[in-house]
Amino acid sequence: MDTKIVFITGANTGIGYETVKALIQSKKQTYHIFMGSRELPKAYAARDRLEGLLRPSSSTVEVIQIDVTNDASIKAAVKYVEDKFGWINVLINNAGAAFDGTFDQDGPNLRAIFNNTYDVNVTGAQITTYHFAPLLINSPNARLLFFSSNNANLSAAFKNFIPTWAPRPEAGWPKDGLVTYQGYKCSKAALNMCMLIWYQLLKDNGVKTFAISPGLLATNLGGHTPEKMRKMGAEDAALGGNLVRSVVEGERDSDVGRVITRDGVQDW
- CATH code at 23? 3.40.50.720
Q: Which of 184, 185, 208, 213 is catalytic?
A: 184
pLDDT in tens, 110-167: 999 999 999 999 999 999 999 999 999 999 889 999 999 988 999 989 988 887 778 8
To the query of whether residue 199 is one of the catalytic residues in this protein, the response is: no
Q: What percentage of the chain exceeds 70 in pLDDT? A: 93
> How far, in Å, CA of 223 to CA of 98, rounded?
8
State which residues form the domain around 157. Answer: 4-266
Active site residue 181: no
pLDDT at residue 162, as a whole number: 82
Q: What pLDDT sits at residue 130?
A: 98
Going by pLDDT thresholds of 50, 70 and 90, the confidence category of residue 31 is very high
Catalytic position from the list 149, 181, 185, 199: 149
Percent of the chain with pLDDT over 90: 78
Catalytic residue selected from 21, 188, 199, 213 = 188
Residue-wise pLDDT for 221-248, tens only, equals 666 676 776 666 666 778 889 999 999 9
pLDDT class for 20, splitting at 50, 70, 90? very high
pTM: predicted TM-score of the whole model, two decimal places: 0.92
Average pLDDT of the residues in 40-59: 96
> Which pLDDT belongs to residue 1?
54
pLDDT of residue 105: 92
149: annotated active-site residue:
yes
**How many domains in the chain?**
1
pLDDT at 4 over 80: yes
